[in-house]
Amino acid sequence: MMVGTQKPRQYEFSLGVVSVPDSPARRQLVRVAERIDFEFVRAWVAPYFSAIGRPSVDPVVMVKMMLLGYLFGIESDRALVGECADRLSFREFLGLNVSDPLPTHPCFTHWRQRLGPELFRELLHEIVRQIVAHGMVLSEARTIDATTVKAQADEHGPVLPVPAGEDDAAVRRHVEGVFADAVPEVPDDQPWMPVNLHDADARLQRKDGEPAEFGYQTSFCADPESGLITDATATPTERPSTMVDHLAHDPFPVSEVVADSRYDAGDSLADVQSRGVRTYVPKIDRDKPGQLSKDWFTYDPQADCYWCPAGHCLRYAGFNRHSQLHQYVARKTDCAVCALKPRCTQSQRRMVTRTVNEAARERTLRGGRRYQELMGRRRVNEHLNGLAKRDHGLRRARSLGLAAMRIQAAWTAIAINILKLVRWRPRRGPGAAFALCFARLLGALCAPHRRPPRQEPSEATPGGHRGRRLRLGRPDRLSITAGTAGLL
């Protein structure tokens, strides 16, 4: 199958007779067609098709139909085909006549499987580049957060126990062994986690106060200034390594990254800082209850030891391969005579652990004015997650598998960004701001100096309340301001 193209249509003989009624949806789609160019899609999908064979559906039509589904929250492919068949505004956006046939719903599944999630992720980056070309400015700061998306799998469905702590490849081999009639044995002394055979990529997740359910974690990397989503992906669970993945795929330079405390992992922070990016992440409290905090201990890199608040040295005792932690232990004689021991530890001696990349955690900024500012702006991710679930169908996965979830995450981000471009207006320049200030000053100078008369509201006064005076406006100030509106 080779790449197909849409033949030019004579709209004066088709759509010219049937006038497309004006509506908010049509005006929105007209602005999208004016500002976003989708012709580059033909060259992008060409390597995925053969040079000979039957022509496929026009790639631009397929991409635009997928976009319509996410712009208007149409979660089903069947429903999307029906809406495009009935709505003239959709056909006008697709460039189709009233009598032109539409792709069937299996075509969308075939195209998603053929193109893969990486192409749609790069499509998101290209849309961001076009939005920036229109004048929207991106900062060099990024905020990263994930949200839970329910998978098409039930916790009471066909569930298989899988050893806990395994990576995705090991889980996949375990599930494949089940389908090959070679069920791997799960030891009794080893913890296990449930995996739904209907969607083996999903993981059982639980929120506070809610029942556990199978789902994914959809992560957005957004600019806190403009609210644009520069990168999007999905993972079975929320992982700190997602922060590194976002920066590796971000199409623009990044100098600052802010995230929540779940991303306080030394290996991920070290990888991000190696790119010259400053990290702003809250610290995870790993101290045991009733134990003096590790922050009271000072690390000496020259002697490779920790100094406690009482001035005693905790020397290096070895490396724990299971927990991947370096251990530093104090002497029993030092702890026995220390006055801080009742507050420090309940054991005979105090032990402090240090991760392999503890230096990266120490370089992470956890306070200051810039930290507080970025932490406040990190709320933009909460807004984007809520917007994606409310208007763009991210409450539930549309298909099965991690690859389909990543495609859905990319399309959701594309729809949100395009709507931001449609509603975005360039900021006024300094000349317009000066004209606005001059108009307000002129109106204030020409207004009478005496106070305007007051009128007691009567029972027939709309919105009037007894005992409250109603001030009249100043028509002379309004007329002067309206007369100077041409300066704006």
| Position 446 confidence tier, pLDDT thresholds 50, 70, 90 | low
The predicted-structure confidence for 218-268, as pLDDT tens digits, reads as follows: 999 999 988 899 999 999 888 888 999 999 999 999 999 999 888 888 888
The predicted-structure confidence for 32-45, as pLDDT tens digits, reads as follows: 988 888 888 888 88
- Cα separation of 414 and 95, whole Å? 20
Who has greater pLDDT, 108 or 156? Answer: 108
Q: What is the pLDDT at residue 178?
A: 62
Residues with Cβ within 8 Å of 179's Cβ and at least 6 positions away in sequence, in order, are none
Amino acid identity, position 419: L
| Position 439 confidence tier, pLDDT thresholds 50, 70, 90 | low
- The arithmetic mean of pLDDT across residues 105-110, rounded, is 85
Which tokens is 483 given? Answer: 């007369």
Residue 146: name the closest of 366, 394, 375, 357 by CA.
Answer: 394
List the single range of 20-34, 307-321, 371-385, 416-430 with lowest mean pLDDT: 416-430
The predicted-structure confidence for 383-416, as pLDDT tens digits, reads as follows: 999 989 998 989 999 888 899 999 999 999 999 9
List the single range of 7-21, 53-67, 337-351, 452-466 with lowest mean pLDDT: 452-466
Torsion (CA) 448, 452, 453, 459 in degrees, nearest 10: 150
Q: What is the pLDDT at residue 475?
A: 38
Q: What is the pLDDT at residue 53?
A: 67
| Position 182 confidence tier, pLDDT thresholds 50, 70, 90 | low
**Between the ranges 13-27, 154-168, 375-389, where is the mean pLDDT highest?**
375-389
Residue 437 pLDDT > 70: no
In percent, how much of the chain has pLDDT > 70? 76
In the chain, which residues fall in CATH 3.30.420.10?
129-157+198-283+365-423
Output the 3-class SS for the chain. Answer: CECCCCCCCCCCCCCCCCCCCCCHHHHHHHHHHHHCCCCCHHHHHHHHCCCCCCECCCHHHHHHHHHHHHHCCCCCHHHHHHHHHHCHHHHHHHCCCCCCCCCCCHHHHHHHHHHCHHHHHHHHHHHHHHHHHCCCCCCCEEEEEEEEEECCCCCCCCEEEEECCCCHHHHHHHHHHHHCCCCCCCCCCCCEEEEECCCCCCEEECCCCCCCEEEEEEEEEECCCCCCEEEEEEECCCCCHHHHHHHHHCCCCCCEEECCHHHCCHHHHHHHHCCCCEEECCCCCCCCCCCCCHHHCEEECCCCEEECCCCCEEEEEEEECCCCEEEEECCHHHHHCCCCHHHHCCCCCCEEEEECCHHHHHHCECCCHHHHHHHHHCHHHHHHHHHHHHHCCCCECCCCCHHHHHHHHHHHHHHHHHHHHHHCCCCCCHHHHHHHHHHHHHHHHHCCCCCCCEECCCCCCCCCCCCCCEECCCHHHHHHHHHCHHHC
**Between the ranges 16-25, 291-300, 346-355, 403-412, where is the mean pLDDT highest?**
403-412
Q: What is the pLDDT at residue 195?
A: 79
| Position 292 confidence tier, pLDDT thresholds 50, 70, 90 | confident
Torsion (CA) 396, 400, 404, 409 in degrees, nearest 10: 20
- The arithmetic mean of pLDDT across residues 269-293, rounded, is 84
Residue 432 pLDDT > 70: no
Q: What is the pLDDT at residue 459?
A: 46
Q: What is the pLDDT at residue 482?
A: 37
- The arithmetic mean of pLDDT across residues 310-332, rounded, is 85
Q: What is the pLDDT at residue 473?
A: 40
Distance set, CA 388 to CA 9, 145, 300 (Å): 35, 13, 47
Residue-averaged pLDDT of the chain: 78
Q: What is the pLDDT at residue 122?
A: 93
Q: How many CB atoms lie within 10 A of CB 339?
A: 8
**Between the ranges 170-174, 194-198, 243-247, 294-298, where is the mean pLDDT highest?**
243-247
Residue 441 pLDDT > 90: no
For the entire predicted model, the pTM comes to: 0.76
Residue 362 pLDDT > 70: yes
The predicted-structure confidence for 260-278, as pLDDT tens digits, reads as follows: 888 888 888 999 999 999 9
Who has greater pLDDT, 144 or 9? Answer: 144
Amino acid identity, position 204: L
Amino acid identity, position 101: P
Q: What is the pLDDT at residue 87?
A: 86
Q: What is the pLDDT at residue 8?
A: 56
Strand pairing partners for 474?
none
- The arithmetic mean of pLDDT across residues 4-20, rounded, is 55
- The arithmetic mean of pLDDT across residues 121-140, rounded, is 91
Residue 460 pLDDT > 50: no
Residue 115 pLDDT > 90: no
Residues with Cβ within 8 Å of 425's Cβ and at least 6 positions away in sequence, in order, are none
Who has greater pLDDT, 142 or 288? Answer: 142
Amino acid identity, position 396: R
Strand pairing partners for 160?
195
Report, at the CATH architecture level, how domain 129-157+198-283+365-423 is classified. Answer: 2-Layer Sandwich (3.30)
In percent, how much of the chain has pLDDT > 90? 18
| Position 127 confidence tier, pLDDT thresholds 50, 70, 90 | very high
| Position 337 confidence tier, pLDDT thresholds 50, 70, 90 | confident
Amino acid identity, position 104: T
Q: What is the pLDDT at residue 463?
A: 43
Instruction: Report yes or no: 414 and 38 within 8 Å, Cβ to Cβ.
Output: no
Which tokens is 375 given? Answer: 């932490």
Residue 467 pLDDT > 70: no
